[in-house]
Amino acid sequence: DTAVSQTPKYLVTQMGNDKSIKCEQNLGHDTMYWYKQDSKKFLKIMFSYNNKELIINETVPNRFSPKSPDKAHLNLHINSLELGDSAVYFCASSLGLAEGGEQFFGPGTRLTVL
């Protein structure tokens, strides 16, 4: 059974378009995250949500809008896509310990903006 799933796995789109990536976890975790991994493999936190509430927004442009309809889902909507948005986006979840515990990652969504 998949613990953290993301759809789609690949996304190719034109500059200026709006797209969404969906994430679901079946682990019963309270906290979910979005990370961005660039072409040099640097992995950076974008958002943290705990019990559907935004906890962390790491100075992400407001073109990126996460939405958590319930504790098991955290979707990422991106408006007006730019070339620099091309990256692999990972969703993750954890028990939500404030100390920053083990996280479980989804398989990633490779976004290519042309």
CA dist 4 and 24 (Å) reads 6
As a whole number of angstroms, the distance between CA 83 and CA 75 comes to: 21
> Would you state the structure tokens that stand for residue 45, as one six-digit string?
């936190």
Q: Of the candidates 58, 61, 80, 82, which one interacts with another protein according to CB under 8 A?
A: 58
57 binding another protein? (CB under 8 A): no
Binding mask 8-47 for another protein (x = CB under 8 A): -----------------------x-x-------xxxxx--
Contact map string, positions 60 to 89, toward another protein, x by CB under 8 A: ------------------------------
Using CB under 8 A as the binding criterion, the count of chain residues that bind another protein stands at 27
105 binding another protein? (CB under 8 A): yes
- Round to whole Å and give the CA distance between 36 and 69: 21
**Which of 50, 68, 75, 93: binder of another protein (CB under 8 A)?**
50
Rounded to whole angstroms, the Cα distance separating 39 from 63 reads 21
Q: Is 94 in a helix, a strand, or coil? A: strand
